[in-house]
Amino acid sequence: MAMFHAAYSSLTPDAFAAERLLLLPEEVLLSDGCHSGKAVLIADGRFQEVDDAESLIQRHPDLSPITLPDQLLMPGFIDTHHHLTQSLGKSLVCGEPSEIFKRIWVPLEGSLDEELLQLSAKLAALEALRGGFTTAVDAGTRSAADTASIALAAEETGLRCVLGFICNDQGGTTGKQDVKQILNRAEHHLIRWEGNKLIKPSLAISIPEAASDTMLHATSALCAEAGTIFQTHVNEHLQAVERSLVARRQRPLEHLYSIGALGPQTLIAHATLVTPDELNMLRDTDTAVAFNPVASAWKGNAVAPALQMAALGIRFGLGTDGTRSDAFRLMDAAETSQRLAFGLSTGDSSCGGGWRWLEHASRSAADAAGLKGLTGEIAPGMAADFLLVDLAVPEMTPTWDRIWELVRYANRDQLTAVFTNGRLRLWQGWPVEWDGRALLRNIREAAVAVHQAPIYRVHPTATQHRAQYREATTPQPTLSIEGYNP
Ligand SMILES: [Zn+2]
Q: Are 406 and 331 in contact (CB under 8 A)?
A: yes
449 within some domain: no
Both 318 and 256 in one domain: the answer is: yes
Both 219 and 279 in one domain: the answer is: yes
CA of 269 to the centre of ligand 1 (A): 6
| pTM summary value | 0.94
CATH of the domain at 414: 2.30.40.10
CA of 323 to the centre of ligand 1 (A): 9
Both 247 and 307 in one domain: the answer is: yes
Domain span at residue 37 reads 2-75+377-431
- At residue 208 the predicted structure's pLDDT band, cuts being 50, 70 and 90, is very high
CA of 234 to the centre of ligand 1 (A): 10
Query: Over the stretch 413-455, which tens digit does the pLDDT of each residue have?
Result: 999 999 999 999 999 999 999 999 999 999 999 888 888 888 8
Both 14 and 92 in one domain: the answer is: no
Both 88 and 185 in one domain: the answer is: yes
**H-type alpha helices, 313-361:** 327-338, 344-346, 355-359
**Number of domain units in the chain:** 2
- What are the b/e assignments for 214-242, b being 16+ CB within 10 Å? ebbebbbebbeebebbbbbbbbbbeebbe
What per-residue confidence (pLDDT) applies to 7?
47
Both 319 and 411 in one domain: the answer is: no
106 within some domain: yes
CA of 91 to the centre of ligand 1 (A): 16
CA of 33 to the centre of ligand 1 (A): 31
122 within some domain: yes
Both 40 and 135 in one domain: the answer is: no
Both 70 and 83 in one domain: the answer is: no
Query: Over the stretch 363-386, which tens digit does the pLDDT of each residue have?
Result: 999 999 999 999 999 999 999 999
- Does 398 sit behind a cis peptide bond, omega within 30 degrees of 0 on the bond before it? yes
CA of 352 to the centre of ligand 1 (A): 24
474 within some domain: no
483 within some domain: no
Both 403 and 305 in one domain: the answer is: no
Both 255 and 110 in one domain: the answer is: yes
CA of 397 to the centre of ligand 1 (A): 37
Query: Over the stretch 17-54, which tens digit does the pLDDT of each residue have?
Result: 999 999 999 999 999 999 999 999 999 999 999 999 99
CATH of the domain at 211: 3.20.20.140
Query: Over the stretch 323-346, which tens digit does the pLDDT of each residue have?
Result: 999 999 999 999 999 999 999 999
What per-residue confidence (pLDDT) applies to 75?
98
Cα separation of 405 and 93, whole Å? 31
109 within some domain: yes
- At residue 105 the predicted structure's pLDDT band, cuts being 50, 70 and 90, is confident
CA of 209 to the centre of ligand 1 (A): 15
What per-residue confidence (pLDDT) applies to 113?
86
**Backbone region of residue 376 per phi and psi (left: phi > 0; alpha: psi in -120 to 50; beta: other values):** left
- Worst-scoring range by mean pLDDT, 139-143, 172-176, 281-285? 172-176
Both 338 and 323 in one domain: the answer is: yes
- pLDDT average, residue stretch 356-365: 98
Both 39 and 56 in one domain: the answer is: yes
